[in-house]
Each structure stands twice: as C-alpha cells, then as structure tokens.
Amino acid sequence: MKKFLIACFLFVVTVNVYAKPEDDRLALREFFAQRFPDMDLNEMINGLYAFDEGAREQWLEMEDFPPYEIAVEEGEEAFNEPFANGKGYADCFENGGIGIKQNYPRFDEGSGEVITLEYAINQCRTDNGEEPLPWQTGELAAISAYMAFTSRGNKMSVVIPDDPRAISAYESGKEYYYTRRGQLEFACENCHMQSAGLQLRADRLSGMLGQATHWPVYRSKWGETGTLHKRFRECNSQVRAKPYEPQSRVYRELEYFLSYMSNDMEMNGPASRR
Amino acid sequence: MKQLIPALASVSLAVLTLFAPAMAADATEYQAALTEARQTLGDAESKVQLWSTSEILLEDAEKAAASGDFNLAVKLATEARLQGELAVATAEREKQIWQSHVPK
C-alpha cells in the first residue's frame, strides 16, 4: 500500500511538473496577447514589420520586387536538376518536395535525431552520391527558398511525437532559448520576448512567435539569402557566445523548439529583412 | 666606498636572481596556465556556454609563447581561464533558473 501511494505521488508530481509542448505554445501566445493586446498575433510572422508601421511600408514596397526572388528561381532550377544517378530531390520528399516546409523540422525515429529541411536536402544529395552543399547560403539556401515558396500559405505543423528522444530534443531547444549565454549574458528570450517590439539601435526587435515561418531570408545586411542557422550563428556572435556549426545538433534542436512555437501560423518564406 | 661597490653589486645580483622566476614567466608556467585554461574552457563548452572570445585568447597565448613572450602568453591563458570560469558560473546559475522565464 505504501509503495502504491508513493508511486501515485510521484506520478502526480511528474505529470504536474512536465509541461507539454502544446501547453508551452499556448502559454507563449497568451504572453504575447497580453503584451500586445491590440495586435493580431498572426502578424508576428512578419517580424519587426508587425511593430513598426514605417518600416512595414518600406518593406511592402520592396516586396513588389523582392530581393529573394533570384534565390527562388535558382532554387527551382537546382531542385529540378537531376543527380548523376538520374534521381532528384523530388524523389527524397513526400509530395515531390512541394508544399512541405511546414512539416520541418521533423523527428526521425530511425536515427533519433531532429531533421531540418536543409539537413534533409543535403541528406538527399549524399544518399544519391552527390556532395553536400555548404549549409548557410548559396545553392542550399536557394533550394530551401524555393521549397519554402511552394509552402506559402500552409500552416506550420511541426510534430513532437510521444517519444522520449523527441521530447528531450524539444526540451534541449527550449532550454537553449531561455538560457543566458555569452560574454554579454543574453538569452534569445531577452531580445525576442522581453524586448520584442522595442527599438535596438536603428531597428525593432522581432517577437518569438512566427520567427520560424519565413526562412530562408534575404537580409540586406548579408546581401544574400541565408538560412535560419546562419542567423542563429549571428545572434550568438552578437552576445559573444561561441556559435555552433550550422545544422549542429544544438541548432537543430533549437529550431525544433522554435518552429513548434510557431505552429498553426502561416508559412511566408522566403522573406526579406534589413 | 670603492670597496663597497663590488659588494653592493653582488648583493643586487643575488636579489635579482632570487626574484627572477617571479618576474619573468617561463615555458613551464605557460604550459600549466594553458592546461588549466583548456580544461576550464572544455568544461564551459560541455555546458554549451563557451564565449566567442576565449579560444581567440588561447590562440594568441600560443602565438606569444611561440615568439618567446611567456609573460604575455601566461597573461592571455589566464584571461581565457577566467572567462571559462565565468561561463561555467553562468551555466550553473542558468541551469537553476531558466525555467522561471518560460511563460506558464
């Protein structure tokens, strides 16, 4: 009887302590709903342009001839170019790779790892005897931009399966997001939750919701289209934390958490930012 | 007075010889500082908390040692170690409190 009561107590404690990803997501939306009561939260997929009307107008004008358009065209061409073995990217993905970005990152039960879209693109190449592409810009970012373009309008639908490895990956990404680091001791949360919408030098800081819906991004600062992990590295450098390699386990798990937080929001990649 | 000069010179030399190791670092001291720094930075990295500045300090320390400037090499390696210690302290503190920042 005593053992049974202890087991019941531990079960209740465990259930209460563990916050499910969906609870996290809803609590996050509530956080931003209270922070910005007059704003449609779905506007946050547009980053800083959700907060800054002047910058938004300039951005909308730029969208008439978007700077990422070249990447989308080059990406489409590269996507349709067959590999040496005659196969292509379409053979590696569900629905021929069209309109599927909202499902990434996904958890792969076989390897027990988080697979981002860029990771899957290079995996497709190596599985077919091709050399992997550089992770952050260039052809890989272009193919990802094309695949994102075909996914516009779909809703982010990242799944955290009931698998301890998937939950652990999600939790690791979450811990990373909320942990202060680097010489300046900033967490992602400090800028993109506490300070979301506030002015930082010449720009406003984007909010965490919708941060994963619009990648890859053409940043004027970069002068090219780059991946989310390029931005992760930049953020780390800005707070003087050692950046990880693009597509490292740390960054893939961070993307997993970040993307889940944007679930049910519209995919709008690729995008342009300052 | 002239007789005192050699004696004073001898005493001065002896004093200088006595304190020389404390004033000028050597390769042994540098190696010890480097090993300590590497261990601390390894600890910080294992806790996902390495600063972007620390490994650069170690590289600069290695360059200084290669050019024979062990004083500078020890100084840089020590600074790297101190950065590593601060990073580890951040890691240990954040491990306890990061969850309090998650909206409930």
Length of chain B, in residues:
104
A-B interface: how many C-beta pairs under 8 angstroms? 57
Which pLDDT tens digit goes with each residue over A94-129? 999 999 999 999 999 999 999 999 999 999 999 999
Answer yes or no: do B52 and A175 touch at CB < 8 A: no
Sequence letter at residue A148: A
Task: List the domain range (segments joined by +) for residue B10.
Answer: 4-97
Is residue B50 a part of any domain in this protein?
A: yes
Q: For the whole model, what pTM was predicted?
A: 0.88
The per-residue b/e assignment along A126-155, b for 16 or more CB within 10 angstroms, e otherwise, is eebeeeebebbbbbbbbbbbbbbbbbbebe
Contacts of B102 in chain A (CB under 8 A): 19, 24, 27, 174, 178
Which pLDDT tens digit goes with each residue over B9-68? 555 545 544 444 455 789 999 999 999 999 999 999 999 999 999 999 999 999 999 999
**Which residue of chain B comes nearest to A180, CA vs CA?**
B94
Q: Which residue numbers of A are catalytic? A: 235
CA nearest to B79, candidates B99, B102, B66, B60 = B60
Answer yes or no: do B101 and A189 touch at CB < 8 A: yes
CA nearest to A184, candidates B102, B49, B33 = B49
Is residue B45 a part of any domain in this protein?
A: yes
pLDDT of residue B2: 61
Asked if A155 is an interface residue toward chain B (Cβ–Cβ < 8 A), one would say: no
Query: In whole angstroms, what is the distance from residue A117 CA to residue A256 CA?
Result: 11
Answer yes or no: do B98 and A241 touch at CB < 8 A: no
Query: In whole angstroms, what is the distance from residue A267 CA to residue B21 CA?
Result: 66
Is residue B103 a part of any domain in this protein?
A: no
**Given B45, B52, B83, which is nearest A237 (Cβ)?**
B52
How confident is residue A16, by pLDDT bands cut at 50, 70 and 90?
very low
Geometric angle at alpha carbon A163, from A120 and A18, rounded to 5°: 120
**CB contact at 8 A, A178 and A26:** no
Query: In whole angstroms, what is the distance from residue B50 CA to residue B52 CA?
Result: 7
Is residue B52 a part of any domain in this protein?
A: yes
CA A234 to chain centroid = 15
Query: In whole angstroms, what is the distance from residue B55 CA to residue B44 CA?
Result: 11
Query: In whole angstroms, what is the distance from residue A150 CA to residue A30 CA?
Result: 30
pLDDT of residue A6: 52
Which pLDDT tens digit goes with each residue over A174-231? 999 999 999 999 999 999 999 999 998 888 899 999 999 999 999 999 999 999 999 9
Is residue B16 a part of any domain in this protein?
A: yes
Answer yes or no: do A241 and B94 touch at CB < 8 A: no
> What are B46's two structure tokens?
């294992």
Mean of per-residue pLDDT scores for chain A: 93
Total domain count, chain B: 1
**CB contact at 8 A, A142 and A78:** yes
pLDDT of residue A72: 98
Length of chain A, in residues:
274
Is residue B104 a part of any domain in this protein?
A: no
Answer yes or no: do B98 and A19 touch at CB < 8 A: no
Is residue B102 a part of any domain in this protein?
A: no
**Which residue of chain B comes nearest to A22, CA vs CA?**
B104
**DSSP state at residue A130:** P
The residues of B whose Cβ lies within 8 A of any Cβ of A are: 45, 48-55, 83, 87, 90, 94, 98-99, 101-104
Is residue B66 a part of any domain in this protein?
A: yes
CA nearest to A232, candidates B38, B59, B48 = B48
